[in-house]
Amino acid sequence: MVSSSGSSLSHEHNCVPGEGDERDREQDPAKQWKITDEDWRNRDKYPQYKAAVEDIFRLTSTPFAPWIILESDDKRYARVKALKIINDALEARLREN
């Protein structure tokens, strides 16, 4: 997250398991416009996407730049937790100097 030059970099990947969103949207007339044929096609490929993401995490996470997995069922919780992680990393870097 923080490089030796003092720069900060953060990357986010969202992966929502299960079938809740599409099914909820399919039943709610106010949200039906959000569902496309691609959503259903992508849902069928979820196991492949999940395996690819697990490979990415395993192959690219390092002690210097680790992936940090955030629970994101609750957007507010996830955002607050992400900001806390970033803040903690920046404060740690400032203490080093």
In a structure prediction context, what are the per-residue pLDDT tens digits for the chain, which is 97 residues long?
445 555 555 555 555 555 556 667 778 888 878 888 888 888 889 899 999 999 999 999 998 888 888 888 888 999 999 999 999 989 998 998 7
Computed on alpha carbons and rounded to an integer, the radius of gyration of the chain in Å comes to 18
- For 59, the token pair is 């192959």
Q: How far is CA 18 from CA 36, 80, 83, in A?
A: 17, 24, 26
Whether pTM exceeds 0.85 = no
Q: Residue 23: what pLDDT?
A: 66
Do residues 3 and 9 make contact, with C-beta atoms less than 8 angstroms apart? yes
DSSP state of 7: -
CA atoms of 81 and 97, how far apart (whole Å): 25
Q: CB-side exposure of 67: number of CA atoms within 13 Å?
A: 15
**Residue tagged 């709610």 (tokens):** 28
Residue 2: per-residue pLDDT: 47
